[in-house]
Amino acid sequence: MTSYLCAIGTANPPHRIPQPQIASFMAGALQFDESDTRRLRALYRVSGIGQRYTVLPDYGRANGEFEFFPNTPDLEPFPTVGQRMSVYRQHALPLSVEAVRDCLEQLPEVAISSITHLVTVSCTGMYAPGLDIELVEALGLNLSIQRTCVNFMGCYAAFNALKLADAFCRADTQARVLIVCTELCTIHFQKRPEDDHLVSNALFGDGSAAVLVQGHPAQQQPSLALDAFHCGLEPDGRQDMAWHINDLGFEMTLSSYVPRMIQKGIRQLTDRLLENLPIKLADIHSFAIHPGGRKILETIEAELCLTTHDNRFAYQVLRDYGNMSSATVLFVLRELLHTLTAADAGAPVLSFAFGPGLTLEAMLMKVAVAPQPFVRSNGYAKHTSEAIALSKE
């Protein structure tokens, strides 16, 4: 039994802020002098990010016009975890609903009542009754739907959700699994000058992605068969990428050593994924890599002998959205999916994501196209394309 990723929908908040404008906000919030401001702007210029989306309009405004952060020179009193979670509860549901609707609009054959499982993913907010129950009510899902929450796992969490969906579909041929990854990273801005925080503040944005996984391909568009997963762990990197809840928000640790740790483990991760499969890395020409940052993408290219063209979907998402934690790799997969046609049937797709631990996740997929319906012509069953060709003769 094979499971299939059939459609991906996405959504972003309304506030689209250019990267240089965010840099200006950060320099002001940190009360940087001219020298530090130049250094900060240089960091933002080389990030590979052109713009990011946020639920907070403050990042595009000057001090004195803020809605969430205090209109004081040092932003004090700085927002608490409770205030940030209030913003999360306000915005997570409508953003998630928008992503789900975008997903299901691509699958007119899927009735909302036929969805059997709901998996919600987030590391930027939690509450109970939570987003999962609110989605059941807002979307009109069955009240008996099986719900699972994947929380606080970071940027690779979408892979764990896909593993769950794969297991559900393999266990039950009638299963239809809706995955919703919603991350509001920008509500956790930390007003600290350490390099880890400067880098984090330069990368993360807000977004939601919804995925439908089931036991057969979509009828009207290519799908991705979930063929294999492999997880690697580099414990030496546990201090280099971390995510902690503190009094004034969730604090990200993202050191400059992360690309080096990924460089250390990415080849072994790929080899382990493929070692029992009848495929080699050289056979793979489609990639969906989580753009944790520009340096991470360049490191993977060097280690696996990929080109920037191979990595084009990741660079595109990084440029247009930044890093949206768990939702990001699904944005990349969506861009890839939109380029596929029936001619790509059977082509392998390799995907990676990374997160705290240091965790490295790999997934191998295969492009799948549903069999076309048959029509009858002159008393004989003919494939639709054959029938169309005959009708033109």
Could you list the active site residues? 155
Rounded CA gap, 104 and 124, in Å? 25
Burial grade of 82 (CB within 10 A; 0-12, 13-18, 19 or more): exposed
Q: Name residues whose C-beta falls within 8 Å of residue 94's C-beta, 6 or more positions apart in sequence.
A: none
Q: What is the 3-state secondary structure (H, E, C) of the chain?
A: CCCEEEEEEEECCCEEEEHHHHHHHHHHHCCCCHHHHHHHHHHHHCCCCCEEEECCHHHHCCCCCCCCCCCCCCCCCCCCHHHHHHHHHHHHHHHHHHHHHHHHCCCCCCCHHHCCEEEEEECCCCCCCCHHHHHHHHHCCCCCCEEEEEECCHHHHHHHHHHHHHHHHHHCCCCEEEEEEEEEHHHHCCCCCCHHHHHHHHHECEEEEEEEEECCCCCCCCEEEEEEEEEEECHHHCCCEEEEEECCEEEEEECCCHHHHHHHHHHHHHHHHHCCCCCCHHHCCEEEECCCCHHHHHHHHHHHCCCCCCCHHHHHHHHHHCECHHHHHHHHHHHHHCCCCHHHCCCEEEEEEEECCCEEEEEEEEEECCCCCEEEECCEEEEHHHHHHHHCC
Instruction: Give the count of beta carbons closer than 10 Å to the beta carbon of residue 332.
Output: 29
Q: Name residues whose C-beta falls within 8 Å of residue 303's C-beta, 6 or more positions apart in sequence.
A: 263, 266, 267
Burial grade of 2 (CB within 10 A; 0-12, 13-18, 19 or more): middle
